[in-house]
Structure formats: C-alpha cells, structure tokens
Amino acid sequence: MTVHLKDYLAACVDQFNTPDFIPNDPISIPHQFSKLQDIEIMGFWVSMLAWGQRKTIINKSNELIALMDGAPHDFILNHTEKDRAAFLNFKHRTFQATDTLYFLAFFQWYYRQHHSLETAFAQHLSAGAETVEQALIGFHDLFFSLEDAPQRTRKHIATPVRKSTCKRLNMFLRWMVRKDDRGVDFGLWQNIKTSQLLMPLDVHVDRVARRLQLIERKQTDWRTVLALTERLRELDPIDPVKYDFALFGLGVLGDQELIEKGIFPTSK
C-alpha cells in the first residue's frame, strides 16, 4: 500500500472526527450539557470510568446524571451528606462506593472555590512547558489533597509518576482543549495548548500505532506515550493528538479486515 502516512492518517481523522462519532462514544455524556461546569464534571467522571464496553460506560454515566438530578454542577455545590446516600449503590467494575463518595467530596470542595476545573490542571504548567506532564502530576496531587482521601481511589486517577499511560486523563484533556469545526471535542479551555496535549494510549491505539511503526518501545508506559506523541508532532506540531481519531478509529471502528491483514502504510 503506497499511501503516505500523513495523508493516510489525515484521511482517517477526517473519517472519524465527525458528529457521527459522538452517540456511541463516552464523549456523548458531556455533550448532553451546555454549561461549562456540567461538561467538565461529567466529562471528567465518564473519562475515569472509561474502561470496558462503551455502551456500559455510557449507561453507568447516565445513571450518575440521574443521581445528580440532571444538573451535576448544581448538585455538586449544594448537596448535603444525606444526599450522598443515594450513591452508595453506584458501581462500575472496580469503581466502588468509596470512590464515588470521594469524587463527590472533591468536586464540592473544589467548585466551591473555583470557577473551572481547568485551573486544577493548568496551574501546574510552567511557562514554556512542552507537554501536560506536570499538569497531570499536579492534578493528581491536588485531587488527593483532601483529608482522609482513600488510598484505594488512587488507582482510578493515574499519574506519570507511576509510569502510567494516563490514557483517561489525556482523553479528558483532549476533549476540553482541542477545538476545531467538527463538533466532537469541546475546546473550552484556553490555558493549555493543543500542542502540549499527549496521546490517550489504550490497547487499540497501541496496536494500530505499532502496526504503523509509530511505536518502537516494547513496553506500553508513560515513556511510550511521550515517544508516540513526539512522532505524531512530526506530522502536526500544533495538534498531534488529532490523530487519536485515526488510531482509535482504525482500532475500534475501522475496517477490521484491513486491520487484521495489516494493510497499513508505515512511518519508515
């Protein structure tokens, strides 16, 4: 197959970065809202629940919305300890009641002091930072800064310090920061640049990127995320994570026969 890699991936981005992508993806959850804080709260929460079948993730997130009376930000600000009892039965895979209650506690503490969740990330970025690495580290530490933060909940909020790929956090930042005319990503945040974003690296993206010879490391860890994003910056230094649509789309939504046969252009 003699298609230049950049052109090939651009065509895939064009194919999958459309409103048709939204309904069956977890990003459909924050798209139910127009208020900034509602989008942030549900965008973050569904991102942290995003493992397993996408249909199940969407259903569980809609369950959360119902528990918050359809108005996440208003509920977060005004709910009482008594109101949290309704969440005791909320579970998704290893995400249990203890984790749910701490998410509610953190959000209430945070939004009673801040207008936007963007500050929780952007405040940790130094001038001229090449990537959002320090933003992810700083956010993790802030998130667990409340007294009696459960140790078990830490597994649900990744950090580069643990060499995690931080797939779900990077996906959430993509949603909040990227802005184009396609209507999938929100582009609501102004203090983080698209060029600083890092690829959300899951099993699908990892598999396709390796077939395209965009990943050479044997491991799949934080260094792999940095290396993959750097390769994609060679194709688009301003917006490297737009290729998430291409790699994820090929891995999950694309032509399975093409993928199984390994018919891809290579980066070499």
The string of pLDDT tens digits covering residues 201-244 is 999 999 999 999 999 999 999 999 999 999 999 999 999 999 99
pLDDT at 260: 54
pLDDT at 42: 98
Give the span between the Cα atoms of 91 and 54, in whole angstroms.
Answer: 15
**Which positions of the chain have pLDDT values less than 50?**
1-2
3-state SS assignment for residue 43:
helix
Question: Which of 74, 88, 86, 79 has the alpha carbon at shortest distance from 41?
Answer: 74
pLDDT at 12: 92
Q: Is the pTM of this model over 0.85?
A: yes
Scored b (16 or more CB within 10 A) or e, 5-15 reads beebbbebbeb
CB 46 within 8 A of CB 87: no
pLDDT at 4: 85
Q: Both tokens of residue 202?
A: 């899951």
